[in-house]
Amino acid sequence: MADEDDIEEPAEPETPIDDEGEEQTLLTTADYHNIAQKQVMNAVFAVLADNKMDWALVAPFLDSARELVRGDFATAQMRLHTVRAEGDTWIEAEEAYLGLSVSDRDDGAEWLAETWWLSEIALADGDPAEVRRIVAAIGRSLDKINAWLADKPPAAPEKP
């Protein structure tokens, strides 16, 4: 049986060194999408560029992909939302936001889900004059919405 003094401590794993003598760090799961995926895409683009594929060969694939996606977008759902998930419950959102959901037309599996705060959309250009025009247009939209609501019965009070 080995003596306690004879047991060696496990060695620290060596940090790999790149060609320039810099230490390399291992990628975390979060890094994968930020670094590794971009490297794979760059490699694919480089191969395509090296092969100098004629546009006439690429265009039919692009056209087919557009047609497939166009069909999915025909049944997509776009709507304004007022609540957001917090854990297992729904709570009032900080502001209204736009949601887009696109599902595969054949199997119904959602492949795109995006949301944007209305203020994010309005402020995107950073042009104060354009933002003022957007605010005026939203005001006109609110006038139409309020006119539609005017003859509707009030909402029932929420139960605690």
pLDDT tens for each residue of 40-77: 777 777 777 777 777 787 778 778 888 878 888 888 99
pLDDT above 90 for 18: no
Longest dimension (CA), the chain: 90
- Answer whether residue 29 is part of any domain: no
Please tell me the distance from the alpha carbon of residue 122 to that of residue 116, in angstroms, as a whole number: 10
Statement to judge: residues 64 and 81 lie in one domain:
no
- Answer whether residue 3 is part of any domain: no
- Answer whether residue 15 is part of any domain: no
Please tell me the distance from the alpha carbon of residue 125 to that of residue 160, in angstroms, as a whole number: 42
pTM here? 0.57
Statement to judge: residues 130 and 94 lie in one domain:
yes
Statement to judge: residues 108 and 126 lie in one domain:
yes
Statement to judge: residues 60 and 82 lie in one domain:
no
Statement to judge: residues 105 and 142 lie in one domain:
yes
pLDDT above 80 for 108: yes
Number of domains in the chain: 2
- Answer whether residue 137 is part of any domain: yes
- Answer whether residue 30 is part of any domain: no
Give the DSSP letter of residue 152.
S
pLDDT above 60 for 32: no
